[in-house]
Chains A and B, each alone.
Chain A
Amino acid sequence: MKFSYNWIRSLVDGLDAPAESLERLITMKTAECEGIELAGELLAGAVPAKVESVEAIPGGKHVVKAIVDAGKYGRKTVVCGAPNCRAGITTVYVPLGNKSIAGVLSEGMLASASELGISRDHEGIIELTGSDELPPTDHVIEIDNKSITHRPDLWGHHGMAREVAAITGKALRDPVNLSVLPAQGSPIKVEIEDLALCPRYSALVFENVTVQPSPLWMQHRLTSVGLNPISNIVDLTNYIMAELAQPMHAFDRSKLTGDTIYARPARDGETIVALNDETYTLAPSNVVIADGAGPIAIAGIIGGRDSAISDTTTSIVLESANFNAGNVRKSSVALKLRTDASMRFEKSQDPLNTVRALARALELLPLISPGIRLVGGLADRSAELTSPAPLDLNLDWLARKLGRVLDAAEVRRILESLQFGVTESGPRSFSVSIPSWRATKDVAMPDDLVEEVGRMIGYDSIVPTPPLVPCAPSFDPPEREFLRSVRRLVTARGYNEVSNYSFISEESARRFGLSVEDHVRVLNPIAAGQELMRTSLLPGIHGNIVENAKHFDEFRLFEIGHEIHKTAAKPEERPHIMAALYAKAAANSQDALLELKRLAESLAPGLHVRPAQPHSWEHPARCAELWWQGRAVGRLSELHPTLVDAGRAAVLDLDLALLQELKPERGKYKPVRRFPVSAFDLSVIADARELAANLEIHIRQYAGELMEAVEYVREFQGAPLPEGRKSVTFRIVAGAPDRTLSSPETTALYDHIVAGLTELGYAFRA
């Protein structure tokens, strides 16, 4: 929202703070200013100038030499390229830009309305009529819209002027004089079908209207605050909207059917061609303004084209209404149409303001459309207008909230300067009535007054004070510490943490064998390729591998993030870790896979590896499921060679929620053995693809109670073993808690194991 400094100054008596300091005051006390800029900078030195003569310049393309009478600057020669530069007109001379054009010295310039910041007209130089005065240069203060979404009153200059008056201690001037409205009936009737959707509809009818450009001062103000001057009647509605925050609309009365204006929900499928020449098909959730024939405006959003003001308009119906904020907002979103009007109505405008705006119009219209006549009086239908109950404001409570001592007189002064009504209701207690423009939504409870007082006394007057709170340890969910310990461990092992998006593409899901239907879908993705919520960290990690392989020969990385899974109810989020190890020169991935296995074991001591059905993205002979305490907790795989350009990549995926759940409590310690153990090696010959874990299970099966440990030592293939066979050496450690084992006991154990495995068909290597 842009605010004209001159406009504000016209509403605050004796305002002497310059625009720059006003900007800072508004930022600190009311709303965030985003910047300040000059509007109509060239107006500073500009003067009206009569073009006395124009002559062509030999060889000059599209430019002429004009001699102008530039008032206080005297007679000047100006080279001008405007098509409308001709003798006899009065235009504007600006003493800038002395330079030689087409061999002629131009002593300044003749300006267009656009260059002067008066309107957007840049077709030619501005042409003044006898009564036109040049408006002064202005400052425009831009306020961040987000900081005033709760303040319907700040969408007009009068509301901001009220703030400025309160901040600076000056008097606010009200541009409205309600007594100008005559107390007589209107030639039109108003019918409101649903007063909740349209709490008030007020209108005036005028005749003998002349449609022509507005005076320059009005055009300049509208242009300065970002509104586009069109014609006097339309400009008036925008001018009052920018001043009083009340959107208005003017209909050409000759184009209306009947003398009744209806405000009603749209019929299903009803259409309207709007001022922007778009056709909108409406639904009953939209509210329309209609005449006897059909919709003439979408309520609170935009007028209809067919009843719009045109050059031939001679009589008008001037609408000033109030619409339900939520409904306007929903319609505006549904129709994808945001307008200056809808932006204001969706902030919950004050229903009392409709008549104020009409009174203001009644005073302004004769200035811009000479000879205009009001027909009858006010047409006005409204819901019962109630004022909210006053708020009880206890000053001690207020002081505790702010953390500052407060003077009752100061609180009263602040609230009254913002036009709250203040009466003393008890010791250190006020009864505060809320002005109508703050009562629609913004101020409804005493806490809202804390802000009013706080910002005006200045938050910088509150001394930072330590809070008085119980000394209590914090409660931390155990999964947080678990995730931290995982991150610490994995980084200590050499892995770099990455962070990938939660979105993946359908293509990516398919590429990694994930069913697209199993994914939660983003209804409004930011871009193609980000339409699904990830059910695996793999697509992201794979991308990291491919990208980093362009720069590094070897790396380790990991991500901890949420997998998001579809369920019948709210999607389930499961924290997973995926770690990856890439080596460009690796002839084999065994080391990488076993390193990742060790990483998994560090997080899940004693986990088991089980052969797995390969997924399409996995090396079919190098993948496994990881099981811990009877549950599948993850997966260990080499990526399929087709997914990696060069080198090999191994990945580990673990369900961290499951690990956290299964993580055993640390039990009692086991006494350290007091008697020495015996150990012997055993080399079992088996099929080359027999799992070492299986052999170990067999050994354990026959080892009995005396066995302390079975340790894998090494394996061997090649001569003298036949093709397809391997020898796996285990070290068996045996012992007893109460004695040293005798040699015959150890021998008997060895023999028992050998006999058992022989029975299972295994041979041994000496």
Chain B
Amino acid sequence: MQDLVDSALARIGTAQTGEELEAVRVEVLGRKGVLAQLSKDMGKLTADERVARGKFINASKLALESAYDDKKSGFDRVALAARLDSEWLDLTVPASGVAPGSLHPITQIQWEIEDLFRSMGFTVLDGPEVETEFHNFDALNIPGDHPARDMQDTFWLDGGHLLRTHTSPVQVRGMEKLGPPLRMIAPGRVFRNESVDASHEHTFYQLEGMMIDKDVSVGNLTYFMKTLLTAIFKKEVTVRLRPGYFPFVEPGFELDIRCLICGGDGCPVCKQSGWVELLPCGLVNPHVLRRSGIDPNEWNGFAFGLGLTRLVMMRYAIDDIRWLQSGDLRFLRQF
């Protein structure tokens, strides 16, 4: 019996393939194998012999199984290593599946600024692109015979409506909707009836902002604009105000920033002045407040308009405004 076991252990040890090893296992450890047969024969033995046989079988079984497992896992390791090696892949070939698309650069900058304002407690509002003359002009203190209407060439529609020439009418809608105190911005598409060339478009994007509260000052406005522009341009921005005329604010300002290209020394971008005109702003004209149902003796505020299209062009150094409405994927896929 011991010989049988020894020879089986030897065959396990010398097995060259998985099949050889399996053959030994079936022959010795299988259901009809040698050890099973020895167990079956135990009925014919005396009680003492059965005890000795039982011990022998268990010991042999443990020894054989251990030898088998060692050998088997050796074969498995080799086989796995071979498979893994055969599965070599070149991962430098192009990726598959659909590549991600892109948001329009205007959308991207709009979201960025919306998020910035929301973090400062501003509500983001939309207004219609087709406006009434009242909301686009009269409510903003620009009556029909006002020369300021010349500043904004207007597309007129049949039915007496117009395409909004600025996002400022959303100020009026926002005041009507939210009431004071309020902090709001209104981004969107605006229209001016002017010929299109590399730097002029009849369709472009603006962002209007407004804050109405008690005792809002020019100092608050400059603080806010400085904070905002520093966040947008991701570097400390120096601003200055100078007089500007817009009928819906009083006083009205043009806000300039110190040229980000030359730092104020003078360069072609700032036309050697060291400053770049960026946005119009001012304290909200009491007439505008009153027309929107807000008592100017109790409330006041500031308003500003930011050119989103201009900001996109500045950020990405886009030299021709027409790319933005071109729908050309050679351009759009870059964003």
Taking beta carbons and an 8 Å cutoff, which residues of A are in contact with B?
27-32, 146-151, 325-327, 329-330, 346-347, 400-404, 445, 447-448, 450-451, 454-455, 459-460, 462-477, 479-480, 484, 487, 490-502, 520-526, 533, 540, 543-544, 547-548, 551-552, 555-559, 562, 564, 566, 570-571, 573
Contacts and interface: CB of A to CB of B under 8 A. Distances in A.
A499 B106 contact: yes
A522 B147 contact: no
B118 interface: yes
Contacts of A480: 124, 126
Given A146-B245, A346-B145, A564-B130, 20 more contacts: A29-B243, A150-B245, A401-B283, A402-B217, A459-B218, A459-B240, A467-B211, A467-B216, A474-B183, A475-B123, A477-B126, A496-B102, A497-B101, A526-B196, A544-B327, A547-B328, A548-B327, A555-B329, A557-B101, A571-B130
B329 A455 contact: no
Interface string B220-247: 1011101000000000000011111101
A469 B98 contact: no
Contact of A451 (B123, B150, B251, B333): B251
Contact of B121 (A448, A471, A533): A471
- Interface-centre pick from B130, B181, B191, B254 (highest chain A CB count, 10 A): B130
Contacts of A477: 124-126
B132 A570 contact: yes
Closest 8 CB pairs of A and B: A403-B219, A403-B217, A326-B145, A451-B251, A494-B98, A464-B223, A544-B327, A459-B241
Contact of B155 (A347, A498, A524): A524
Contacts of B285: 447
A479 B126 CA distance: 10
B327 A400 contact: no
A548 B332 CA distance: 11
B213 interface: yes
Contacts of B60: none
- Interface-centre pick from B101, B132, B155, B224 (highest chain A CB count, 10 A): B101
Contacts of A473: 121
A552 B332 CA distance: 13
A497 B102 contact: yes
B250 interface: yes
B217 A401 contact: yes
A189 to B, nearest CB: 30
A487 B325 contact: no
A731 to B, nearest CB: 26
Nearest to A330: B145
Contact of B213 (A450, A469, A497, A564): A469
Contacts of A468: 215
Contact of B101 (A474, A523, A556): A556
B305 interface: no
B330 interface: yes
Nearest to A404: B219
Contacts of A474: 118, 121-124, 183
B241 A570 contact: no
Interface string B194-214: 111000001100000001010
B79 interface: no
B218 A454 contact: yes
A496 B163 contact: no
A147 B191 CA distance: 21
B252 interface: yes
A148 B252 CA distance: 12
Nearest to A543: B327
Nearest to A343: B147
A467 B213 contact: yes
Interface in B236-295: 240-245, 247, 250-254, 283, 285-286
A484 B103 CA distance: 10
7 contacts: A149-B148, A151-B245, A447-B285, A476-B123, A499-B325, A502-B189, A547-B327
Contacts of A455: 242-243, 251
Interface string B151-179: 10001111101010000000000000010
B128 interface: yes
A506 to B, nearest CB: 14
Contact of B250 (A29, A447, A471, A573): A447
Given A474-B118, A474-B123, A526-B195, A548 B328 contact: yes
A464 B222 contact: yes
B147 A149 contact: yes
A453 B272 CA distance: 29
B11 interface: no
A141 to B, nearest CB: 14
B190 to A, nearest CB: 11
Contact of A448 (B126, B150, B250, B332): B250
Contacts of A570: 128, 130, 132, 159, 161
A564 B100 contact: no
A457 to B, nearest CB: 11
B99 interface: yes
A601 B219 CA distance: 51
B328 A462 contact: no
Nearest to A470: B181
A32 B243 CA distance: 8
A32 B211 contact: no
Contacts of B123: 474-476
B157 A520 contact: yes
Nearest to B219: A403
A435 B151 CA distance: 27
Contacts of A150: 148, 245, 247
B159 A476 contact: no
Nearest to A338: B150
B104 interface: yes
Contacts of B58: none
Contacts of A487: 103, 107
B218 A500 contact: no
A573 B102 CA distance: 25
B193 interface: yes
B107 A460 contact: no
Contacts of B98: 493-494, 556
B220 A445 contact: no
A77 to B, nearest CB: 42
B56 interface: no
Nearest to A30: B243
Nearest to B202: A526
Contacts of B247: 150
B22 interface: no
A524 B144 CA distance: 18
Contacts of B27: none
B101 A490 contact: yes
B286 A445 contact: yes
A456 B18 CA distance: 99
Contacts of B250: 445, 447-448, 450-451
A148 B247 CA distance: 12
Given A30-B243, A492-B100, A520-B157, A400 B215 contact: yes
A347 B146 CA distance: 8
B322 to A, nearest CB: 11
A27 B219 contact: no
Contact of A401 (B148, B300, B330): B300
Nearest to B127: A573
Contact of A564 (B111, B129, B283): B129
B21 interface: no
B224 A467 contact: yes
B113 interface: no
B324 interface: yes
A492 B97 CA distance: 12
A28 B241 CA distance: 8
A496 B330 CA distance: 11
A540 B328 CA distance: 12
B251 A454 contact: yes
B102 A400 contact: no
Given A149-B148, A403-B220, A459-B242, A501 B203 contact: yes
B271 to A, nearest CB: 9
B325 to A, nearest CB: 6
